[in-house]
Structures are given as structure tokens and as C-alpha cells.
Amino acid sequence: MKLVKPMADFIVELKNVNKTYSTAAGDFPALKNVNLTVNTGEFLGIVGKSGAGKSTLLNMINGVDDLSSGEVVVRSRGGQVSVHDLDEDALSLWRGRTMGVVYQSFQLLPMLTLVENITLPMDLAGNFKPRESRERARELLELMELGEHAEKLPAFISGGQQQRVAIARALANDPDILVADEPTGSLDSVTADHIFEVFEHLVSDRGKTIIMVTHEVGLESRFSRCLTLADGELVTDVEADPKPKRSRRK
């Protein structure tokens, strides 16, 4: 049986988070009073149907979108921030250091080589000297088993390889947390499996915390913990091994 981790280990905490969108048709509650604690070193899956609020939840965690009420607290590198209290500039800086993002479409710059694509966020953040950033980019490509392709343009590698480059880019500034929105959504199952292996390695060997959203069914067992979201509410919260930890079904 798994030990309940002490509270000090949390890396992300959502307290009574609500998000309501105003549309022409009226107010639409996308997230309803979500409470969630993500612990360091978890590979957390958030599953649910399209429109359940999964991406909105991710956008609350990384501060990409404003919340309507509640609080998101993230601990990283010895510090603790209330994400939505930061102003725009501070938020952007904080996000760049703390969270790597990976989306379904890889969005690599087609005119830059793989190594340049990964160097770019380091150069923009200015955390590494140019030479260091290039070396680091190469190391990350090696980690993704793409070292031999370093000088190629994205058009000359497969979709799965491009997504691994996007993951390497997300790791460029060595964030503690990786946030991935449907990262396997446009990949075949074998390639998707490879992405999962990469994520598992990042969690187990590199100490990263990964929060991944997917609408695909049958992937629940791949995560160390899996949440189900429906109509903006968390309905199940299951630790992978060995049995469901608790259920929040209402």
C-alpha cells in the first residue's frame, strides 16, 4: 500500500478554483469549485470528454488564463507562488522557469534546426550562456534519442520525433513541472507509447512532475495518478497502483 505523502511534498495546489466563461448565450461554468493537490514526482493524467474542462484546468495551473475565483499555489525551487497574484510580466517569467508546455501540435519553427528550436527558449530566457544552451540542447536531444538528427529541420523527421523535440524544448529551461495538453493526440499508438516512455523516464529518473490532459480512453493505467473531469468537476481520483485511492463522485 502506498504511503500518504506529507503535505510538504505538494507542488501544485488548487483551492476552490472556479472558471466561468461569459458567452453571448450566457455564463458557462467551465470549472466548478475544483480542489486538487498534485505531489512532487507524480505523473498525473487528467482525462475526460471533450468540453469537460481539462484544458481549462491546465490553463489555471500554468496561469495562461485567469480564474474567476479561488487560488492556485505552485511550489518550485524552494519558493512558493500564488500564480494568479502575479502580474503579467512576473507570470511570464515565472512560467518560463517553472513550467514546460507541450501541445498536440508540436509548433516547432520549421526554419530552425532541431537544436536551434531547443536553444531558442534558453536564449529568450537568458538563463544560460549561448554555448551552454547549445550543449544543453544537444544533451536534451540525446535524452530524446534524437542526437543524430540535431542539425536537421523539423520537416525531415517524423511526427513522433517532432513531438519529442517539442518535449525537449519544453525542458530547455529545466522546469520542475511539465504540462502536456493532448501530446499524443496526433500520433499513432506505437509513437504515442514512445512519448509515454519518455514521460515515465522524466518522472522516475529526472524528478519531474508531469500533468497531462487527454481525451483518449484506456490510458488511465499509464499514469501514476489519474483524475477524471466531467462538466467542470473532478469526479474520480485514482492512484494507479494498486487500487483506487478515493472517489469524489458526487
Partner 1 sequence: MTPPRTQPKSAPVHVADASPEAIIEMRGVVKRFSNAAGEFTVLKGIDLTINRGEFVSIVGKSGSGKSTLLNMITGIDHPSEGQVIVNGMDIYSGVSESARSKWRGKNLGIVFQFFQLLPMLTLLENVMLPMDYVDMYDFDERPVRAMELLKLVGLEQFANKLPVLVSTGQQQLAAIARAMACDPPLLIADEPTGNLDTRSADTIIGLFEHFVSQGKTIVMVTHDPSLTSRTHRNIIISDGELIDETISRGLPQLRHRHMLEFTKIAERRIFQPRETILSRDASVDYFFLIRSGEVEAVLKKPRSKETILAKLGKDQFFGDVELLRGGKAIANVRASSKPVETLMIPRADFIRVMEQSPITAEAVGKIVQKRLEEHRMADPRKSKRAA
DSSP 102-128: EESS----TTS-HHHHHHHHHHHHT-S
**By CB under 8 A, residue 107 contacts partner 1:** yes
**By CB under 8 A, residue 120 contacts partner 1:** yes
**By CB under 8 A, residue 13 contacts partner 1:** no
Mask for 185-224, x = binds partner 1 (CB under 8 A): ----------------------------------------
DSSP 44-78: EEEE--TTSSHHHHHHHHTTSS--SEEEEEEEETT
**By CB under 8 A, residue 93 contacts partner 1:** no
Beta bridge partners of 211: 44, 179
Measuring CA to CA, which residue among 48, 98, 15, 35 is closest to residue 212?
48
Sole residue written with cell 505531489: 39
**By CB under 8 A, residue 176 contacts partner 1:** no
According to CB under 8 A, which one of 45, 96, 183, 232 is a site residue for partner 1? 96
**By CB under 8 A, residue 155 contacts partner 1:** yes
Cell triple for 134: 547549445
According to CB under 8 A, which one of 19, 95, 194, 208 is a site residue for partner 1? 95
**By CB under 8 A, residue 108 contacts partner 1:** yes
According to CB under 8 A, which one of 35, 69, 82, 105 is a site residue for partner 1? 105
Which positions ≥6 away from 57 have C-beta within 8 Å?
17, 31, 34, 46, 213, 229
**By CB under 8 A, residue 183 contacts partner 1:** no
Cell triple for 174: 529545466
Residue count, binding to partner 1 (CB under 8 A): 24
Site residues for partner 1 per CB under 8 A: 55, 59, 64-65, 88, 92, 95-96, 101, 103, 105, 107-112, 120-121, 124, 153, 155-156, 181
